[in-house]
């Protein structure tokens, strides 16, 4: 595999993840307009409240996801495309979370679980890659 491809794959996944986040923000704005909730209020109607929580929870998850994605991309060399593939799983989990939470917050679990699983897998990949790189340097 071309040595640049894993980074390019993860770059595309990063852009898509950010586009999903921006889309979630537009859902907050739409709910705010639909229910006439003026800024700076962040509550006022259950639909907007759910949209805000989905958006903010995704922001909280991005802070963990993006470093893990890139650490795994840089250091996990055994299957170069795998970090990006796990990133796609994370995006799917976030979309499932959004759909479920907007319909019924009690049903958000599977989407959240997929997101958490992607975090764990990326963390393991990053650690394995960093340990291998560290060991290879003789440090």
Summarised one tens digit per residue, pLDDT across range 66-123 is 999 999 999 999 999 999 999 999 999 999 999 999 999 999 999 999 999 999 999 9
Report yes or no on 139 lying in a domain.
no
pLDDT digits (tens, 9 = 90+) for 45-66: 999 999 999 999 999 999 999 9
Q: For 73-101, what is the HEC assignment?
A: HHHCCCCCCHHHHHHHHHHHHHHHHHHHH
Report yes or no on 128 lying in a domain.
yes
Residue 138 has pLDDT above 90, yes or no: no
Write the CATH number for 116.
1.20.120.550
The domain tally of the chain equals 1
> Are residues 31 and 51 in contact, defined by beta-carbon separation less than 8 angstroms?
yes
- Owning domain of residue 54: 5-133
Q: 108 in helix, strand or coil?
A: coil
Give, for 139, the enclosing helix (H) or strand (E).
Answer: none
Q: What is the CA radius of gyration of the chain?
A: 18
Give, for 1, the enclosing helix (H) or strand (E).
Answer: none
Report yes or no on 60 lying in a domain.
yes
Report yes or no on 69 lying in a domain.
yes
pTM of the model: 0.95
Q: d(Cα 78, Cα 133) in Å, to the nearest integer? A: 12
Report yes or no on 126 lying in a domain.
yes
Structure tokens at 131: 């340990």
Report yes or no on 47 lying in a domain.
yes
Report yes or no on 40 lying in a domain.
yes
């Amino acid at each position: 595999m071309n040595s640049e491809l894993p980074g390019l794959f993860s770059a595309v996944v990063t852009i898509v993840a950010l586009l999903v986040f921006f889309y979630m923000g537009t859902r907050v704005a739409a709910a705010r307009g639909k229910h006439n909730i003026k800024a700076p209020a962040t509550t006022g109607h259950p639909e907007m409240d759910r949209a805000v929580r989905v958006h903010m929870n995704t922001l909280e998850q991005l802070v963990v996801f993006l470093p893990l994605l890139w650490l795994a991309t840089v250091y996990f060399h055994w299957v170069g495309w795998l970090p990006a593939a796990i990133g796609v799983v994370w995006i799917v989990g976030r979309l499932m979370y959004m759909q479920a939470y907007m319909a019924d917050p009690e049903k958000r679990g599977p989407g959240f679980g997929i997101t958490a699983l992607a975090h764990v897998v990326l963390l393991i990949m990053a650690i394995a890659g960093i340990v291998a790189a560290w060991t290879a340097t003789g440090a």
